[in-house]
Amino acid sequence: MSDVHVIDHPLIQDKLTRMRRIDTSSQDFRLLLREISLLMGYEVTRDFQTQLAEFETPVCKGAFPKLVDRFVTIAPILRAGLGMVDGLQELMPFARVGHIGMYRDEKTHEPVEYYYKMPEGVEKSIVIVVDPMLATGGSAIDAVNSLKARGCTRIRMMNLIASPEGVAAVQAAHPDVDVYVAAVDERLNEDAYIVPGLGDAGDRIFGTK
Ligand code: PRP
Ligand code: URA
């Protein structure tokens, strides 16, 4: 069974509360999402391996830790996942970005894939799938299915808010994929929206409603 890491750092929680507020502007919402993504990135990458490498400082020679694997792919689920890319890329400028276009059918709540573009050789990469909302889990499960179908084996998810149902669904479908979230909320409502949640993340990021 995969692990669910709830990152309850006070700075993240305070920013998330501001994002939830109905009166937060689209501009502030985007900024907060970028900041939270960067902060969450510390935990999402905590188990990245380092190895000692020989270097010379201005003072002496020594062996210092260096990342073993710099082939990291940030994979946003469009549209809302795009709001989490910049913060993570600020932390890892070497990371590549692969896009997964997917939307939830409004009636069935089932995900529909419309775009998929990953860096060449992505199967060798550590992939961080990002999307602010993990509601039913359908989009996340399908995104991971697409990556696994292309040979990816080292996949993790980073979400802002999850529902308990969504987390359970992802764990059942992908027991090898760890999930990192800032909050697990109470439940889903009849429209499969997270309660209390923050509304429609894509609309709030892009100002489409
Ligand atoms: C939202 C959200 C997730 C999905 C979560 O996207 O950004 O991708 O819903 O729901 P699920 O866990 O039930 O699949 P949406 O379909 O609204 O598309 P958008 O980002 O283009 O607005
Ligand atoms: N997608 C969102 O943007 N918000 C929800 O609460 C559920 C799905």
From atom 7 of ligand 2, which residue's Cα is the shortest distance away? 193
* pLDDT value of position 3: 95
Q: What is the pLDDT confidence band of residue 78, given thresholds at 50, 70 and 90?
A: very high
Q: Is the pLDDT of residue 110 over 90?
A: no
Residue 178 · residue 157 · CB < 8 Å? yes
- d(C-alpha 20, C-alpha 26), whole Å: 12
From atom 1 of ligand 1, which residue's Cα is the shortest distance away? 133
Q: Is 9 helix (H, G, I), strand (E, B) or coil?
A: coil
- Return the percentage of the chain with pLDDT > 90, whole number: 94
Buried b (16+ CB within 10 A) or exposed e, 5-32: bebeeeebeebbeebbeeebeeeebbbb
CA of 88 to the centre of ligand 2 (A): 21
* pLDDT value of position 85: 98
- d(C-alpha 52, C-alpha 193), whole Å: 46
Residue 158 · residue 84 · CB < 8 Å? yes
Residue 33 · residue 160 · CB < 8 Å? yes
* Per-residue DSSP letter, 144: H
Please state the φ and ψ torsions of residue 59, each to the nearest 5 degrees: -100, -40
* pLDDT value of position 105: 86
Q: Once rounded to an integer, what is the mean pLDDT over residues 90-105?
A: 95
Which residues contact ligand 2 via a Cβ below 6 A? 80, 133, 135, 193-194, 197, 200-202
In angstroms, how far is the first alpha carbon of the chain from the final one?
A: 38
Q: What pTM does this model have?
A: 0.96
The best mutation among 193, 195, 203, 205 to test binding of ligand 2, ranked by most ligand atoms within 8 Å of the C-beta, falls on: 193
Q: Once rounded to an integer, what is the mean pLDDT over residues 30-37?
A: 98
* pLDDT value of position 106: 84
Q: Once rounded to an integer, what is the mean pLDDT over residues 107-117?
A: 91
The better pLDDT of the pair 209, 176 is held by 176
Q: What is the pLDDT confidence band of residue 134, given thresholds at 50, 70 and 90?
A: very high
Contacts (Cβ under 8 Å, ≥6 apart) of 57: none
Pull the structure tokens for residue 208. Answer: 């489409």
Which residues contact ligand 1 via a Cβ below 6 A? 77-80, 103-104, 109, 111, 131-140, 166, 192, 200-202
Q: Is 162 helix (H, G, I), strand (E, B) or coil?
A: strand
* pLDDT value of position 187: 97
pLDDT, the chain, mean: 97
Q: Once rounded to an integer, what is the mean pLDDT over residues 91-109?
A: 93
The distance of Cα 9 from the centroid of its chain, to the nearest Å, equals 17
Architecture of domain 4-206: 3-Layer(aba) Sandwich (3.40)
Contacts (Cβ under 8 Å, ≥6 apart) of 92: 41, 45, 72, 74
On the question of a cis peptide bond just before residue 119, with omega within 30 degrees of 0, the verdict is no
Q: Is the pLDDT of residue 201 over 90?
A: yes
| 80 Cα nearest atom in ligand 1 | 20
Summarize pLDDT for 49-77 with one digit per residue, the tens. Answer: 999 999 999 999 999 999 999 999 999 99
Residue 38 · residue 91 · CB < 8 Å? yes
At 53, the amino acid letter reads A
